[in-house]
Amino acid sequence: MESLPEPSVTQKVAAMRKSLCSWGSEHGRDYPWRHTRDPYRILIAEILLHRTRADQVCPVYLRFLDLFPDLLSLIHAEPESVKALMAPLGLRWRTDLLLKMVREIGERYGGRIPLQRESLMALPGVGDYITSALLTFTDTSPEPIMDTNTVRVIARVFGLKLNDSARRKKQFRKIMGQLVAGEQPRIISFSMIDLAALICLPRNPLCERCPLLPICDYGQARIKPDPIGG
């Protein structure tokens, strides 16, 4: 029997998008920052989530918004009170960057968070990931959200080499860009993040439970049964 032809990248992306939307609607994690399009609330969430588990961030995030519900209140906040609030999350240096960032937004943009890539990237403490997340999750423009988790999923599905520089490679960014270029870029992005956290683990991934298994090069090779007599 002749083997079926390999699906093209475009076909895989379409199948991947469909599976992620379906899986994410049923299994996606529920966090308060996922229920808003407000740039300030999303920006604060992304700053707090940097190198920190979402479950750990959640109570700090809610308390943060109680004390500083908008950018103006944060601009006028006492630095020590902000540092004390963020202390349980560690990475104390990000508090100084956050305060410097909001002051610059106040001075340069009249207290309104700019929603243009170049303007965001020029702010202290804002890099490609936060910029892409802010633009995508505010429904401003769909952007590829690249980190060690999303690139791991892409590498495994498409059989690409995964290393420390993968998130900066054009091939990975192009595929993620194609994924979010269609409908529901927010759901696609959240689903990629959740799939990496719950199923496509760095070690011992749960391939048998993965919605992308039918199109995943890594998963198919990993669970392929040994030949008889092998």
Q: Among this protein's residues, is 46 annotated catalytic? A: yes
Find the catalytic residue in 96, 104, 147, 217: 147
Q: Among this protein's residues, is 147 annotated catalytic? A: yes
Find the catalytic residue in 31, 38, 129, 217: 129
C-beta separation of 33 from 61 below 8 A? yes
Q: Among this protein's residues, is 129 annotated catalytic? A: yes
Element (DSSP H or E) covering residue 170: helix 170-180
Find the catalytic residue in 40, 46, 143, 194: 46
From the list 145, 168, 171, the residue with the least C-alpha distance to 158 is 171
H helix runs in 37-116, sequence order:
39-49, 54-67, 71-75, 79-86, 93-109
Cα 39 to Cα 166: distance, rounded to the nearest angstrom: 28
Please, how many CA atoms are within 13 Å of residue 230, restricted to the half-sphere of its CB?
A: 5
Q: Inter-axis angle of helices 185-198 and 148-158, to 10 degrees? A: 90
Residue showing tokens 């309104």: 112
* Catalytic residue positions, numbered: 46, 129, 147
